[in-house]
Structure formats: C-alpha cells, structure tokens
Amino acid sequence: MTASKKEELIDKALEVFYREGFHATGMDRLVAVTGISKTSMYKHFKTKEDLILATLERRHKYLMSLIIDRTDERADTPAKRLIAAFDSLKDWIAGGRFQSCMFIKASSEFQDPAHPIHKISADHKRTLQDYLVAQARAANARNPEQLGHQLMLLQEGAIVTAHLQGGSEAADDAKAAAEVLVAAALA
C-alpha cells in the first residue's frame, strides 16, 4: 500500500468510526468501506486500535486547524480570541458533517484513563483548554486558569447539546455566556 493509500485508509476509517463508532465497526466493515484488504490494512496498522489512533491523530490536526487557527485568523487580540473561539465552534457544528465529538465518543468507548485511545482523547481536550487558558492569561484575566476551564465547559456543553438537540444555536448560547464570563474576568 502506498503512502497515499494509507492516507486514504485513514480518511475512510475516520469517517466510518465517526459515524458508526469504534467498537461497532469491525475490520470486515472497514474492508467493505475502504476497498482495502485486511492483509493490506495490517501491513500498516498492526491492530484496529493502531488504526483508531491514526484516525484520532488526523481528527486532532483537523480540529486544531478549524478551531484554533480560524480563531487566531478572525480575532487580533487574546480577549477577542476567547469569544471568537465560539464562532469557530459554530463553524464546525454548522458545517454539515457534525456528528458530535469523535474524542468524546472515543473516551466513552475506551474508558480506562490509561488506555492510549482514552489518553489521546484527553490530550485533545487538554490542548483546546490550554489554548483558552493561554488566551485568558495573555488577556490579563484575573484567574486565567479558571476562565479557560469555564470556557472549555461551555464549548463542551455546546457540542453535546448540538449533538443531542441538533442545530448550531448551542454555540451561540455558549458564546453569549462566554461574553459575560470574559467581561467579568477582564473587568
């Protein structure tokens, strides 16, 4: 399998795992969807869990670009970025391919905190939270760690609400709450 075939396998597996779940998706299903034989898959990924980790790494890079890079592009100060992060969140939710958070799903299916899939999921969330804390610190918030944690809770709540109730209004509601928190922390 060439490098491009390997990348194609990761992309297709990501779509299936995101839509159908990790435990529910067997190797036979992946063979059917990707058109790549089990033998070829196992040449690049010794286990299904290795393939899951590769899809989560791909998803992490995508979401970092979508959330953090777009936030940095749309806002020119740390204080504005704390709010703009919710516009970036809304872009993702409203983008037409939103099916909740792949990392929430993964950590739910692999609940042992020591499991590599759980760890990569927790690391993804920690990266987002660290970004918010760094922006709060750069904006000179009174308690940047607390503000970053609160904003992360709002983002996570918006993701779950959008998944369960549909629509991107949850991101707007979270943004409105974030504006109150940020104003209070910067006053």
Residue 29 lies in a domain: no
Residue 137 belongs to a domain with what CATH number?
1.10.357.10
| pLDDT, tens digit (0-9, with 9 covering 90-100), for 134-178 | 999 999 999 999 999 999 999 999 999 999 998 889 999 999 999
What pLDDT score was predicted for residue 3? 62
The residue range of the domain holding 116 is 55-186
Any residues with CB less than 8 A from the CB of 35 and at least 6 apart, and which? none
CA–CA separation, 3 and 169 (whole Å): 40
Residue 70 lies in a domain: yes
Global pTM reads 0.91
Residue 163 lies in a domain: yes
Whether 92 contacts 66, CB under 8 Å: yes
Residue 112 lies in a domain: yes
| pLDDT, tens digit (0-9, with 9 covering 90-100), for 97-139 | 899 999 999 999 999 999 999 999 999 999 999 999 999 999 9
Read off the pLDDT of each residue in 10-21 and give the average, rounded to a whole number: 93
Residue 41 lies in a domain: no
| pLDDT, tens digit (0-9, with 9 covering 90-100), for 32-89 | 988 888 888 888 899 999 999 999 999 999 999 989 999 999 999 999 999 999 999 9
Whether 56 contacts 106, CB under 8 Å: yes
Read off the pLDDT of each residue in 179-183 and give the average, rounded to a whole number: 98
Any residues with CB less than 8 A from the CB of 141 and at least 6 apart, and which? 147, 182, 185, 186
